[in-house]
Structure 1
C-alpha cells in the first residue's frame, strides 16, 4: 500500500526521554506517538533523512543490517547515552535507494558502518517504539542545494509504492539563539505561515517556492543554516500530491510544524 511522505520535528537532543516538568515537549511527543495510526498500513520499511548527517558531493545510505546509535548531543543526563533502539537495517533497501539516485544522474553510495543519529532514533523511538520496522538513514549533500534535494526526493518516490515510508526529520524553525527568546516568536510565526502556505500549494508551485525558500519572511532568521529544513524538500520531492500541516505549536516560544504529503 502506497505510503505518504512526512516531515517531522525531532525535538531537542533526547528531550522525550528526560524529565519535562514544564511540559515543553509533551505536544510534540504526542504528535510523534500518533503517527502510526494515521498511515494507510504498517510501513514495510522507513527511509529517513536527518538534518544531522551530511556527505560531500553525494548522498549516502546506511546499509548495515543492525545499525548502532550515534549519541550526537552533549550535556544531557547520563541515562540518555544508554538509550537503545535496536531496529533492523535494510541493506536491500539501501542498495535500491542508492541505485535510484544514481539512475537519476545523482551520486549516491552506501555506508555499512554508520549508525543512526539522534535526529533519527529519538523521534522514531517515540513513533515506533517496538523497533521492528527496518530503518535506513539517508544523508544530506553538504552543498545544501535545494534543487538537488528535491531531485533526490523525486528519484526515491517509487519506493512509496513498495510500502516504504519516506521521512524528513528536522525542525521547521532551527535557530538555537531563538529558542526561548520572545523576540523570535513573531519571525518564527511569519516563516511558519509561509511554509504552511508553500506546502499546501500545487506541486509545481510548491517546488518553485521551496527552491527559493530564502525569499520567505524571516527565512534566514529561522534557519541561519538550512540543514534542518532540507529534509522537508526531500519529502516534498517524493510527493506528487497535496501537502498539509499535521502538527503545529509553539515550542520554547517559536512556531514548529510538521507536514504530510500524499
Structure 2
C-alpha cells in the first residue's frame, strides 16, 4: 500500500445481484480498488444500517448479513469473511467524540450488503479489515458531513472511507418501470443526478446539504434519505476542498442512478 493519503469514496451499490454479476459498475469498482491498492482497513458508511445515535461496529469477525428477500439461492450462499477492526472502532469513536458527536460501538453486528456487495469486487480476497458506520436518517446531511470531517484524519492512516448508498433510490419507480419492460431514463432522476453532480464537481457542499429542499424532484429521487446520506460522510472526509474523479456514471432500470466518485 502506498503511504500517500487515501481518497474517500461514494458508491451507488445497486441491486444485491451485483454481487453475482458485476456489470459495468462492478468492473469500475474493481478497477478503482486496483489503483488505490490494499488499505490498512475500510470504514464503510452503509445506507443499510440505521441507528438513533452514531454507531460503529466493533465485531472481531463480522458475519455476512443477507438483508434482502426474493433473490436466487446462490446470492444467500455468498460469504464475505473479512475480519473486523475493534481497535480501529475505538479510534473512530474517539474522533467522533472529539467532534462532540456521541458515538457507541456495536459489538455484534455483521456486514450488510451495502458493504459486502461492492467489496466482493473491490477486494475479493476479503483480507482487509472492515467496519461499518451507521446512518441517522432523521439527522440530515449536515450531521453526516460533520461525521465525515471528523474522520478525515483516518485517510492519512491507511483507512479507506467509503459511503455506500445511491445517487437516486426510488424502488417503487424502479419496479414499476421494470414491470413495464424498462425504458428510457426517468427525467426526474436525470435532473436530480445532474443537479447533485454539478455541485459535487464544483465543491458546493453548502448547497448540497440543503438537497432535500433545493434539488429538483428531491423527494421523488429519495422518498427516504438513508441512501443519499452516505455521500455526505464521503464528502466530509474529503475535507473543505476536494478534487473529484467520476468513477462510474449510469442508470439501472431507468430510475436508479449508479454514480460513484473518488474524492482526493
Tell me whether the two structures share a fold, i.e. TM-score over 0.5. Answer: yes
Residue 79 of structure 2: aligned partner: 84
For residues 208 and 123 of structure 2, what CA distance do their matches in structure 1 show?
A: 29
Say if 1:45 and 1:134, in contact at 8 Å, map to a contact too: yes
The C-alpha deviation readout for 1:189-223, integer Å capped at 9, x for no partner, is 11111111111113xxx221121112111211111
Q: Report the CA distance shift for 1:63/1:87 in structure 2 as closer, same or farther (over 3 A).
A: same
For the residues of structure 2 that align with 1:89 and 1:4, how far apart are their CA atoms? 21
Residue 37 in 1 paired to residue 39 in 2? no
- 1:78 positional shift: 1.5
1:95-154 CA deviation, whole Å, 9 max, x = no partner? 100111011101111111000001111111111101011101110124241111000000
Give the equivalent residue in structure 2 for 1:48: 44
Distance 2:137 2:216 in 1: 24
Contact 2:57 2:131 in 1 (8 A): yes
Q: Does 1:115 pair with 2:110?
A: yes
Tell me the distance in 2 between the aligned counterparts of 1:147 and 1:4. 21
User: CA separation in 2, counterparts of 1:157 and 1:246?
Assistant: 21
TM-score by length of 1: 0.91
- Aligned match of 1:100: 95
- Structure-2 residue corresponding to 1:192: 193
**How much is the aligned-residue C-alpha RMSD, in angstroms?**
1.5
Number of aligned pairs? 251
Query: What is the match of residue 257 of structure 1?
Result: 259
| Structure-to-structure mapping, 1:53-202, within 5 angstroms | 53-56=49-52, 58-179=53-174, 181=177, 182=183, 185-202=186-203
2:209 equivalent in structure 1: 211
In the TM superposition, 1:22-33 aligns within 5 A as: 26-33=23-30
Please list every run of 5 or more consecutive structure 2 residues that lacks an aligned counterpart in the other structure.
Answer: 178-182
TM-score, normalised by the number of residues in structure 2: 0.91
Give distance in 2, aligned partners of 1:229 and 1:97.
Answer: 22
Change in Cα spacing, 1:116 to 1:228, as seen in structure 2 (3 Å) is same
Report the Cα distance in structure 2 between the residues aligned to 1:144 and 1:103, rounded to whole angstroms: 19
Q: For structure 1, which segment, 251-260 or 47-56, has the greater mean C-alpha deviation from structure 2 after superposition?
A: 251-260
1:243 to partner: Cα distance? 2.4
Structure-2 separation of matches of 1:139 and 1:72: 15
In structure 1, runs of 5+ residues without a counterpart are 19-24
> What is the Cα deviation at residue 183 of structure 1?
7.5
